[in-house]
Amino acid sequence: MDSAYEEVGRKTKFGVYIPSELARELDELMKSLGIENRSKLLQESLRLFIIENKWSIAKEVVGSINILYNHKIGDSDKELTELQHDFLDVISSAMHIHLDKERCLLIVAVKGSSNRVKELIGRIHSVKGVLLVRSTLMATQ
């Protein structure tokens, strides 16, 4: 085992350096949330990081893609609808929310091949009028 790690029972101990300001913010948030154990908090944070990012190396994923766009720019409505039809193999459903006279939020539920979902996300980014694309994806394996 690497000398940076120390086995303690079924756990591994290692040191982490963080900026003082980050430590202060962490302590303030922990206090306001009633969390007393830094180790438990860091373990939960690491699990969340792994879950949120493991999809990028997984074969199968599930989750949602949130798309904020201006429907008055280009043919964004039409292009996003056509994209959904092109990716029916990974799209389970979609919800369209009108935010104001120009902007809409499209929430697309996906399940299937991570490569196809990555391709879909890339294609969404290229649609003129798309302002923001935010995905929440998890590995299914």
Query: Binding site membership for Ni(2+): which residues?
Result: 85, 96, 98, 104
Which DSSP category does 19 fall into? -
Which structure tokens are listed for 11?
Answer: 């756990």
- For residues 137 and 33, give the distance between their C-alpha atoms in angstroms, rounded to a whole number: 26
**What stretches of 1-141 adopt beta strand conformation (E)?**
6-8, 11-13, 60-70, 91-98, 103-113, 130-139
Could you tell me which residues are annotated as the binding site? 85, 96, 98, 104
Rg (CA), the chain: 20
